[in-house]
Structure 1
């Protein structure tokens, strides 16, 4: 009894958990640079003045659509490689290896002389994105304690939008080649920093490396071997149970609790993409240019990027207080309003003609949209993914959900120009409608996981009594 008391008296140093989570999320910063890259680059590629373009002619609208959307092709295929690799070589090494794709892609951008090379670069970037978005939720979910898992799981969105802002802020004001160099150094720095962080104790325990798992847990908790004894015993029991009931892809649909978890996670990810976020990210400069608000499109885009960073920084602070479900409900409802207002602006521009009295509308509409996206539907689907599945099926589930994200991401970005040609308001009103459906999905389908342990979440899903 006294040993148990002394072990439990050692405080957990949550700063260590956040240190490892931040280091892991530097790869999410790289993802952000890839997502934000098109906003300053596409105007250069479409310009009749090719002096700051690697190509000898302006790109067509069809080529524009493919450059925006092909990142999703790599990102939907890569998770089916990254998931099994995360179980074989570890979450840490999958995240580290993602940088190979990013470095290669930015090198290709530097030497691109034809459009197909840019296509190839975007697919390769997508492979890196798929690796990150499969392994990062697994790693962060497994290193975190129950009371900070919502906060650490929300860091991905914060770092993605920081990477987007990095591309937004630098891209319009430097040459094409300088931006590629600026993006190239980021994955190298990310690897150097994350290399010194420990592997997930769940992964190490699953490989029978109990001593290494204890050392990892000691680092992450800032405790002695005695201090982590009880938690290590729980991890070991969970891992042994997972090994005894080794799951496969079919178990995602055969087992009722997994099916419910998949419905929740895939649904949230689907509505994340159907909210039109990639259209906004990839085309911010073009949207502001077509709105003709009188504000420099590059400056307006940077303002949006700053809003994304500031609002994403709120989520780790409030998510474990307010809960996932409430934030998602607020996010869906307010996003629908912002998108409806933006659609209304473009409708008035086409039908009314004189819109001088509402020229101010696009900027606040997109600011409101981005604030609630970055505090709700941006980070929380990934945070929920990291905590919803048992260890024996987690890598398969992460692969399916990440691929779902990018299948829809490709469809939305690829066919947005066709909707835009009919009238921008069609696209934004459609996205607004999807947000309304998302509100009711969250209200009636999603379960609250605030403050619950991974075991308690499984009980709530019905897999355990």
Structure 2
């Protein structure tokens, strides 16, 4: 049996995830730039008039509402030339379009180029790219001026565009178009094998595509299939709990947590610390996901996040009651925050996107991925937009406890509903879903 090489599919996987790095810079841009565009100092603020409190909220959350298509480069050009809050808002909305495009198309691309042995590792690179993009912004933003950061961020999508022009189209795409010889060449490049060496995988892939193409790709046909409905429930469920885990609130709250505990770390340094932990934790997922499987990691992640929210809420409850013990447990929220970020990045941050890339037949991937990505960003928008109101209504402690309850529900959902796909081909996954 021909052995082949794994290096090419990983090279292509890393290259496509430069788009994830660009995505991460967009998501985390407000952290270092927030103090700049809200400043009254005209020497550092590019805006003619600082935004109001309501406009600040929209600058942070509009990216989630817009996450449905693509135009990163245009957004950074708009931010480079902005003088008004309106243009800044337009740039953030366009970044949202780019994020939605990347998360939809990239999961499909990775799912179609990866072999079954490495599909989990390659799929989890998206989260690693996102947190690296965030760390990139955290590390540069506080130490350069406004325009220098925009140029630094603009360099990433330009680099991605140039390099990705030389990457192969997926074998699945060529099979759908009836270009069998091109599909074989693409598979040969990705596997580092001869035409004979990829023949078995090509045959199985062709069978899977031909089976899926019996139905047109539309919402009605998506919902007609028992297997597709089951996949949609699993993927939308995982993405829903990803957002209801409170990750965006935790990241937003990180500087406040460091400040409330009397930490001597500056906000910039504390944010870099959280970003570094996220990056290291996300780097573990590609190593373990194809060894341990998707489901065990998700279960451990949900349980860990639940515990972290419980202890975080406990600290803020003692602070709310003004108990003397608060000072002696000042380490607890910092430890809880770092622990939460670690278990989130290893599990629920990465794996829902891995699962999305492998659960649907070829002709339904685009519409299914669009539904799942849209669900993700609608929820992200709602959580970002209304968490401050909820915090005022119930208190910080109950805010964390509510997220902890959601993580507990995520554990039950994963245990009872999510299907393990480790080591299975795309056709085997479809066969099992449709039994």
Does 1:393 pair with 2:355?
no
Partner of 1:59 in structure 2? Answer: 51
Q: 2:27 aligns with which of 10, 15, 35?
A: 35
Does 1:193 pair with 2:185?
no
**1:328: Cα distance to partner?**
0.4
**1:276: Cα distance to partner?**
1.4
Partner of 1:272 in structure 2? Answer: 242
The separation in 2 between residues aligned to 1:35 and 1:378, in whole angstroms, is: 14
Partner of 1:90 in structure 2? Answer: none
The separation in 1 between residues aligned to 2:133 and 2:47, in whole angstroms, is: 25
Partner of 2:179 in structure 1? Answer: 209
TM-score, normalised to structure 2, is: 0.95
**1:290: Cα distance to partner?**
5.4
Partner of 2:385 in structure 1? Answer: 414
Does 1:317 pair with 2:287?
yes
Secondary structure of 1:250 counterpart: helix
The separation in 1 between residues aligned to 2:87 and 2:253, in whole angstroms, is: 21
- Judge conservation of contact 2:205–2:427 (CA < 8 Å) in 1: no
**1:456: Cα distance to partner?**
1.4
Q: Deviations over 1:237-275 (max 9, x none)?
A: 222222222331112322211111100000000000111
**1:168: Cα distance to partner?**
0.9
The separation in 2 between residues aligned to 1:285 and 1:58, in whole angstroms, is: 22
**1:351: Cα distance to partner?**
3.0
- Judge conservation of contact 1:325–1:447 (CA < 8 Å) in 2: yes
Does 1:165 pair with 2:135?
yes
Partner of 2:403 in structure 1? Answer: 431
Does 1:106 pair with 2:76?
yes
1:274-353 map, 5 Å? 274-282=244-252, 284-289=254-259, 292-352=262-322
The separation in 2 between residues aligned to 1:137 and 1:369, in whole angstroms, is: 25
Secondary structure of 2:335 counterpart: helix
Partner of 1:459 in structure 2? Answer: 431
Q: Provide the aligned length of Structure 1 versus Structure 2.
A: 433
Partner of 2:334 in structure 1? Answer: 363
Q: 1:20 aligns with which of 12, 23, 28?
A: 12
Partner of 1:124 in structure 2? Answer: 94
Q: Could you list the runs of 5+ residues in structure 1 that have no partner in the other structure?
A: 1-8, 79-97
The separation in 2 between residues aligned to 1:282 and 1:192, in whole angstroms, is: 34
Q: Could you list the runs of 5+ residues in structure 2 that have no partner in the other structure?
A: none
The separation in 2 between residues aligned to 1:58 and 1:40, in whole angstroms, is: 16
Describe the shift of the 1:277–1:347 C-alpha distance in structure 2 as closer, same or farther (beyond 3 A): same
Describe the shift of the 1:178–1:289 C-alpha distance in structure 2 as closer, same or farther (beyond 3 A): farther
Does 1:373 pair with 2:344?
yes
Describe the shift of the 1:303–1:231 C-alpha distance in structure 2 as closer, same or farther (beyond 3 A): same
Describe the shift of the 1:290–1:116 C-alpha distance in structure 2 as closer, same or farther (beyond 3 A): farther
Does 1:256 pair with 2:248?
no
Q: 1:70 aligns with which of 62, 69, 92?
A: 62
Q: Deviations over 1:383-428 (max 9, x none)?
A: 0001111112111111100100001010001112222444333332
TM-score, normalised to structure 1, is: 0.89
Describe the shift of the 1:337–1:70 C-alpha distance in structure 2 as closer, same or farther (beyond 3 A): same
The separation in 2 between residues aligned to 1:413 and 1:103, in whole angstroms, is: 25
> What is the RMSD computed on CA atoms of the aligned residues?
1.8
- Judge conservation of contact 2:49–2:85 (CA < 8 Å) in 1: no
